[in-house]
């Protein structure tokens, strides 16, 4: 359906032509046309920088430039899977990339397979991350894990706790590194059931040490001030470990900010003072106080926030130069990363899989022994029974037998003896289970698992490629949002919805070969304020003189306001 350039398709199919050129045609009311307004931002964020890492197709109707632009456009248009393209006009979508139609789903999958077979996604991601980090020069990185739940039957994946569902489900664990405003830098994927602490030491920190730029001025500050950190990591209490914090500072001179675990004491409320803290929602007043927190592994600063209801939120840090207010601001800004995950799940289907192939894991990988976990579960159940029996015995012992009648006294003695015997039996059972567990290794090589349930993994290359393109799309949206923000007082609530409306807005397209222009008229939006903002954005984008890849046509945008 919609295949109009038949001769060119035949030439490519029989090998008489390497690829079909991009050819735009004038058209009216082209749906999803507003997505072209984000093309300059996509290119600026590095969408076509894949060329430095992947080789092009030897021959074919579509080239990889077309494919990357198409996939980015599909994600921006909220077409969340390749299968959903069945329900949209292939010809209309094809006009957005200068072709008669987009590829069929089967062809799209084969094109993606051609790319992922080169296995350069991690190399491309590292180059993108380096360029983003060098441009933004962050001193604070936010780290959090995200579980991609797996509902299939081909792969045998370890179970992870999914906080949003409050269940342990099989899935893939990804750890993301973001900026303070939620923009992503890179991610790493756990092979089996690695925790955040392990991933920090073995994957995330070594990658950051390669990517993080250190200016001469910063080097001088670190030499002059022994408390100056290389950079600071912010994460939740999942990776709380004073030994890990000491290791990061002693080995790399990296500071951390996180929540403290197992806080049992309370500070006097009179110690807290009201401070103004800058957050993404503006300046907020908080009651804060700081003290030194001494642990056997390291000494840290502890900052607590007192809520109106008397709850004290404890934050610890090894950064010795930040003020108490800045520490609170950095810690509570972690919600920007949570909002990033929620937005990516809802708008970009972050958990969708492009390809469903399965890869084998290294058989020497150490995994948690299932037998060890099973016995641990039994021990916990028996200890739960033991605590309940001891509670009943305590209640029994609080009664005074001298105040009971003879019949009740006999019942009291009988209950006490039965409870004591049951407690002894359960204690003996717990002791036997603990002894049995000591004979079982906590971790075993993967090869020792039963073959029928042995862990493997989903194809990481296809999922990684999908994630990288979605990161570029999100950053392109963020760049456009930064231009639109001055026109809206409630930019945090309105800008993303406005960008989504722009993407879904139809356009008129006119090809001016004489002046080498691709003129794009964006249809009016729902209100005058939005139309005025679009006019200014069009003027700004036109100054970039962006040429559509594969052509000599310069993009020229205007708002077709009435």
Helix/strand/coil (H/E/C) assignment for every residue in 296-364: CCCEEEEEEEECCCCCEEEEEECCCCCCHHHHHHHHHCCHHHHHHHHHHHHHHCCCCCCCCCEECCCCC
Provide the pLDDT confidence category of residue 147 given band limits of 50, 70 and 90.
confident
- Domains of the chain by residue range: 236-333, 370-440
CB 178 within 8 A of CB 184: yes
Label the pairing between strands 517-522 and 554-559: parallel
Q: What's the rounded Cα separation, in Å, for the pair 143 and 8?
A: 49
- Give which of 485, 553, 559, 546 is closest to 48, Cα–Cα: 546
Name the packing angle between helices 528-542 and 491-503 (round to 10°). 70
pLDDT at 60 over 90: no
DSSP category for residue 380: H
Interval 480-535: pLDDT, tens? 998 888 877 666 667 888 899 999 999 999 999 999 999 999 999 888 888 888 89
Q: DSSP string of 376-426? A: HHHHHHHHHHHHHHHHHHHHHHTS-GGGS-HHHHHHHHHHHHHHHHHHHHH
* Residues in Cβ contact with 102 at an 8 Å cutoff, skipping those fewer than 6 apart: 70, 85, 90, 93, 94, 108
Summarize pLDDT for 74-98 with one digit per residue, the tens: 999 999 888 899 899 999 999 999 9
> Across-strand partners of 458?
358
For the chain, state the CA radius of gyration. 30
pLDDT at 281 over 60: yes
Q: How many CA atoms lie within 13 A of 407 on its CB side?
A: 0
What is the separation of C-alpha 214 from the centre of its chain, rounded to a whole number of angstroms? 25
Q: For residue 151, which phi and psi values (nearest 5 degrees)?
A: -115, 10
Checking if the pLDDT of 399 tops 60, the result is yes
Taking only the tens place, the pLDDT of each residue in 4-14 is 888 888 888 87
Minimum mean pLDDT range among 87-91, 188-192, 320-324, 446-450? 446-450
Residues belonging to the chain: 562
Give the CA count within 13 Å in the CB-facing half-sphere of 357: 14
Is the pLDDT at 356 greater than 80, yes or no? no
pLDDT band at 355 (very low <50, low <70, confident <90, very high): low
User: CB-based contacts of 345: which residues, under 8 Å, 6+ apart?
Assistant: 351
């Amino acid at each position: 359906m919609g295949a109009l350039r038949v001769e060119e398709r035949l030439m490519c199919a029989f090998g008489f032509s390497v690829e079909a050129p991009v050819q735009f045609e004038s058209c009216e009311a082209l749906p999803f046309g507003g997505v072209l307004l984000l093309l300059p931002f996509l290119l600026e964020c590095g969408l076509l920088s894949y060329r430095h890492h992947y080789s092009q197709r030897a021959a074919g109707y579509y080239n990889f430039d077309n494919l990357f632009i198409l996939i980015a456009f599909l994600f921006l248009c909220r077409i969340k899977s390749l299968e959903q393209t069945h329900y949209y006009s292939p010809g209309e979508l094809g006009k957005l990339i200068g072709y008669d139609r987009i590829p069929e789903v089967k062809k799209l999958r084969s094109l993606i397979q051609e790319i992922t077979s080169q296995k350069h996604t991690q190399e491309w991601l590292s180059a993108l991350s380096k360029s983003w980090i060098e441009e933004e020069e962050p001193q604070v990185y936010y780290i959090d894990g995200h579980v991609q739940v797996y509902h299939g039957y081909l792969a045998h994946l370890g179970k992870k706790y999914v906080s949003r569902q409050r269940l342990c489900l099989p899935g893939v664990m990804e750890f993301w590194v973001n900026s303070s405003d939620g923009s992503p830098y890179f991610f790493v994927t756990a092979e089996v059931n690695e925790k955040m602490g392990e991933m920090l030491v073995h994957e995330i920190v070594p990658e950051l040490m390669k990517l993080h730029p250190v200016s001469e001025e910063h080097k001088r500050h670190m030499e002059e001030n022994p408390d100056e950190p290389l950079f600071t990591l912010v994460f939740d209490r999942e990776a709380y470990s004073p030994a890990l914090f000491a290791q990061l500072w002693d080995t790399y001179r990296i500071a951390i900010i996180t929540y403290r675990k197992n806080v049992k004491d309370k500070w006097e409320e009179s110690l807290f003072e009201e401070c103004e803290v800058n957050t993404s929602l503006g300046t907020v007043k908080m009651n804060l106080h700081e003290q030194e927190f001494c642990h056997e592994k390291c000494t840290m600063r502890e900052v607590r926030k007192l809520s109106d209801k008397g709850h004290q939120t404890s934050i610890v840090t090894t950064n010795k130069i930040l003020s108490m207010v800045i520490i609170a601001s950095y810690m509570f800004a972690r919600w920007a990363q949570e909002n990033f995950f929620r937005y990516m799940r809802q708008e970009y289907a972050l958990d969708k899989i492009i390809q469903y192939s399965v890869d084998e894991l290294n058989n020497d990988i150490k995994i948690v022994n299932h037998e060890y976990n099973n016995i641990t579960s039994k021990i916990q159940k028996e200890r739960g029974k033991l605590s309940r029996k001891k509670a009943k015995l305590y209640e029994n012992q609080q009664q005074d037998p001298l105040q009971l009648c003879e019949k009740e006294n006999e019942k009291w003695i009988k209950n006490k003896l039965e409870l004591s015997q049951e407690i002894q039996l359960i204690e003996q059972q717990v002791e036997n289970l603990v002894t049995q567990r000591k004979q079982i290794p906590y971790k075993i090589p993967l090869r020792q698992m039963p073959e029928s349930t042995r862990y493997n993994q989903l194809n990481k290359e296809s999922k990684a490629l999908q994630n990288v393109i979605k990161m570029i799309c999100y950053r392109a949206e963020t760049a456009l949002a930064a231009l639109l923000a001055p026109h809206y007082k409630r930019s945090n609530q309105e800008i993303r919805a406005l960008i989504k409306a722009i993407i879904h807005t139809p356009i008129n397209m006119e090809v001016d070969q004489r002046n080498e222009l691709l003129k794009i008229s964006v249809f009016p939006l729902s209100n005058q304020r939005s139309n005025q903002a679009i006019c200014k954005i069009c003027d700004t984008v036109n100054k970039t003189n962006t040429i559509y890849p594969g052509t000599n046509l310069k993009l020229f945008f205007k708002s077709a306001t009435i």
